[in-house]
Amino acid sequence: MTNPTLVRRKSPVALSLLTTAALLGALVVLNVVLSRVVVRADLTEDRLYSLTDATRNVVGKLTDPCRVVVYWGEKIPGTAEPVRRHLRGLLEEYVAASDGRIVVQWPTMDENGTKDADEKGIPEAQFGVMDANERSIVKAHAGLAILYEDKAETIPNLVQMQEDESGFTLATDLEYQLTSRIHKLTRTSTTLVGLVTETTAPRFDFQSPRNRPTDNFMGLAQLLDETYGNGLRRSVDLEQPVAADLTVLVVLAPKEWNEKKAFHLEQFLLRGGKVLLLLNPMDWEALQGRTELKKSGLEDWLKSFGVEVAPGVVADYDPPAQCAAVLPTGDIRRYPSWIRLLAANLDGRNPALTGLGGVPMYFASSLVVDAKAQEAAGRTFTTLATTSDAAFVRQDLAGLTQFDGPEGKALGKQTMMVSLQGKFTSYWKGKPSPAEPPPPPADAAMGDAPPAPATPADAPMGDAPPAPATPADAAMGDAPAMTEAPAATEAPAMEGAPPAPPAMETDGAKGPEGEPGDPAKPAAPPARLDEGSGMLVVLGDADLVSDQFAGGSRDVTAGATMYINKLGGFALVPNLVGWLSGGDELLGLRARGSTDRKMDEISKEKAQTLQHVNVFGLPVLVFLLGLVVYFVRKHRS
């Protein structure tokens, strides 16, 4: 006969063993099921697969399907397979963030796929392949197209070499490229940005400056075009009034401007416009000490607003705040006059500067701002960027290309970028406008009036007599001057918009042949403003976005500065343009793409091992814990 007491004693132990076995089986089955369910969690150190809030905001606003077609050639080396997996994972994040409105396609790269890629304007890229200790080159497509409604944008090159040339990686700014193109295709409002680039940037070449092509800012224009498209006007002529539909003007490296250009820039500012002014007083002749620093023509105009450009060139003797230069010998050395704006010296409250750091500036000038003048005028004054505390303004430009030290110098922080926002009073208030023709003498017949004394149109401000004014649009040399209609004085200033054209005559006025008068009368020019509110951002260098330091064919350092000093300026300036234009969606993306974010790859065998551990590891751990409970209960029994 079975002892009931013994059954009761053995029942808990048997129950524990039975429960553990059942739990083990249930966990194994559950893990097998969950292993086939996609659950995304980005555990990479640099958050390689995590989209920024800017991207989520852009793709979350999609209302229609957007197709992303990836052209991945079959001849791409197997060593680039981690890049393909990285790209696939990133695009899956876009699909998830868009709630399925983004559809990703990977067409087979047969004859039809190759033809489609060629038609989309995606060229074949070159890839180096190591085979039997021999290096060969293969060509294959590695790009994508973004299709939305009847519009299309492309990213022709997705893959690039790692900095150490040990393998391949995705373009570091790929998220910015993707999101900016989607934003460009889908935005409904148009923000118009104008570039004033009629003067090219100065050249600096320590080896052969006279044999280099003329520099310009094509790289920056192309970068802005990716965001603004038809909303970007690449060449704004300030000999004429600024179009009323422009909202932001980017002025790059002005040189010896006449008063007329400065006046039209000021009128744009007074009408509520926003100006990003990148000064650049240094050129090669001045660098060699053969000439003085060239003037922008805006010195007196800026001074009237309490901003002065300090003479000389800024050097920073804090090693982290220095960029590197490549010597003719091939050596690389830190160079004090190629300064680096560090994150600690940027205004972190400004969204355009968040996440930035290491922004290079080449032979830059510091700014001196009269804070009391800003307060008296009712303007908000903000210092956006400074050097470190170990900076020095070198006014002696002789031998500037030599590498020196801080010995014997009074070091201190220098202001490199400022913003002024609020009320501005015209530099020409109470004086004739440079854009107006001189008034004829009141007591002389129009045909007999003696000509007004001419003043060169490009004379520096302050040197020309205040009256009579010279026609600012007079041609250089002996060409006749083209006069403009006087500014309308009775039209009110309407939020920066030009006044309506004069009403058409309806009193039956006849022309010379008895026909009605010509109805095609020109519209009146914008009403002149002597006061207004706007925003002015001044930066003491334009070389940070010039082609000569951008790594392209015009780079005077053969791309060395791009790889050593990075391209922080090409994140800073577009961010500032986005901030001024109200387009905050893309601000954080450029900074994220300014550094190379690498992903450590694991082997296929290790990946399989981790998968097995994931499926069976937890159940086994629970089983072992159950055995411990079993033996403890058995021992107590």
Fold entry, domain 192-429+530-592:
Rossmann fold (3.40.50)
Spatial distance between the Cα atoms of 595 and 568, rounded to a whole number of angstroms: 9
Spatial distance between the Cα atoms of 614 and 33, rounded to a whole number of angstroms: 12
pLDDT for the residue numbered 488:
37
Closest to 547 (Cα-Cα) out of 91, 240, 197: 197
Residues of the chain above pLDDT 70, percent = 63
pLDDT for the residue numbered 164:
64
359-368: average pLDDT: 93
pLDDT for the residue numbered 547:
83
Residues 6+ apart with CB under 8 A from 516: 508, 509, 510
Rg of the chain's alpha carbons, rounded to an integer?
33
Per-residue pLDDT for 596 more than 90?
Answer: no
User: Quick one: angle between helices 218-228 and 174-186, nearest 10?
Assistant: 50
pLDDT tens by residue, 528-556: 999 999 999 999 999 899 887 776 655 55
pLDDT tens by residue, 45-95: 444 457 887 788 889 889 899 999 999 999 998 888 999 999 999 999 999
pLDDT for the residue numbered 614:
63
pLDDT tens by residue, 408-442: 899 999 999 999 999 999 999 999 989 776 666 65
Confidence of residue 304 (pLDDT cuts 50, 70, 90): very high
Residues of the chain above pLDDT 90, percent = 36
Q: Do you find a cis peptide bond into 468, omega within 30 degrees of 0?
A: yes
Q: Which amino acid is at 231?
A: G
Helix (H, G, I), strand (E, B) or coil at 533: strand
Spatial distance between the Cα atoms of 490 and 496, rounded to a whole number of angstroms: 15
Q: Which amino acid is at 92?
A: E
Q: Where are the domains positioned within the chain?
A: 4-41+606-636, 53-183, 192-429+530-592
- Least confident range from 54-58, 105-109, 141-145, 296-300: namely 54-58
pLDDT for the residue numbered 230:
85
Confidence of residue 487 (pLDDT cuts 50, 70, 90): very low
Handedness of CA 42, 44, 48, 51 (dihedral sign): positive
Please tell me which of 26-30, 31-35, 330-334, 575-579 the model is most confident about, judged by mean pLDDT: 575-579
pLDDT for the residue numbered 615:
64
pLDDT tens by residue, 211-249: 443 447 888 998 898 888 888 998 899 999 999 999 999
Spatial distance between the Cα atoms of 449 and 586, rounded to a whole number of angstroms: 58
Spatial distance between the Cα atoms of 578 and 191, rounded to a whole number of angstroms: 10
Spatial distance between the Cα atoms of 105 and 108, rounded to a whole number of angstroms: 10
> What are the helix (H) ranges across 528-603?
560-565, 569-580, 587-592
For the chain, the average pLDDT equals: 76
Name the class of domain 53-183. alpha beta
pLDDT tens by residue, 341-362: 999 999 988 878 877 878 999 8
pLDDT for the residue numbered 612:
65
Comparing 169 with 385, the larger pLDDT belongs to 385
Per-residue pLDDT for 512 more than 70?
Answer: no
Query: What is the Cα 466 distance to its own chain's centre?
Result: 41
Comparing 416 with 631, the larger pLDDT belongs to 416
Spatial distance between the Cα atoms of 380 and 378, rounded to a whole number of angstroms: 7
Spatial distance between the Cα atoms of 597 and 54, rounded to a whole number of angstroms: 19
Q: How many CB atoms lie under 10 A from the CB of residue 378? A: 10
Closest to 250 (Cα-Cα) out of 271, 272, 265, 230: 265
Confidence of residue 560 (pLDDT cuts 50, 70, 90): low
pLDDT tens by residue, 129-165: 766 667 788 899 999 999 999 999 999 999 887 766 6
pLDDT for the residue numbered 461:
55
Comparing 375 with 22, the larger pLDDT belongs to 375
pLDDT for the residue numbered 374:
95
pLDDT tens by residue, 277-294: 999 887 555 665 555 667
Phi, psi torsion values for 212, nearest 5 degrees: -95, 150
Per-residue pLDDT for 170 more than 80?
Answer: yes
Task: Decide: 174 and 90 in contact? Cβ < 8 Å.
Answer: yes
Per-residue pLDDT for 458 more than 60?
Answer: no
Confidence of residue 3 (pLDDT cuts 50, 70, 90): low
- Least confident range from 54-63, 94-103, 311-320, 582-591: namely 582-591
Spatial distance between the Cα atoms of 181 and 194, rounded to a whole number of angstroms: 19
Per-residue pLDDT for 297 more than 90?
Answer: yes
Comparing 584 with 616, the larger pLDDT belongs to 616
- Least confident range from 206-215, 426-435, 516-525, 555-564: namely 206-215
6-21: average pLDDT: 60
Per-residue pLDDT for 470 more than 50?
Answer: no
Confidence of residue 446 (pLDDT cuts 50, 70, 90): very low
Per-residue pLDDT for 507 more than 60?
Answer: no
